[in-house]
Amino acid sequence: MQHLKCFLLASIFLLCSLSVKASSDDAKAALLAKQNACLGCHALDKKIVGPSFQAVAKKYANDPSPVAFLKNKIIKGGSGSWGVVPMPANAKLSDADVSLLAAWILRGAPSAN
């Protein structure tokens, strides 16, 4: 019984730790999006110039490698995936920041607004 209690407490602690990390990553990604003008064209749940982050997450939900695809799109920019208006390149971002942004967008950009 004691082992079960320890296991449950350890599991709860791990889940809480992961939740705090996710919240921290979400806050950092939201700040990166704001600082790099992403929010000028994208919003959480509505189209502005580009698609909403939730629409992007939904479109690529079944893609076998969505993070790599989205990272490439963020870094190089481009057009055609969502219409004719081009998305500017964001080549100045570090690989870690682009990875964080891509993963955040693919989760539907929690805490974006």
Q: Binding site: which residues?
A: 38, 42, 87
Return the CATH number at 78. Answer: 1.10.760.10
pLDDT, greater one: 80 or 9: 80
Domain count, the chain: 1
Binding residues for heme c: 38, 42, 87
> Which contiguous run of DSSP H or E holds residue 52?
none
With 0-12 CB in 10 A as exposed, 13-18 as middle and 19+ as buried, what is 25? middle
**In the chain, pLDDT over 70 holds for what percent of residues?**
79
**18 lies in some domain:** no
Domain that holds residue 38: 24-106
What is the predicted pLDDT for the residue at 81?
86
Could you report the per-residue pLDDT of 5-14, keeping only the tens digit for each? 545 444 454 4
**Mean confidence (pLDDT) of the chain:** 84
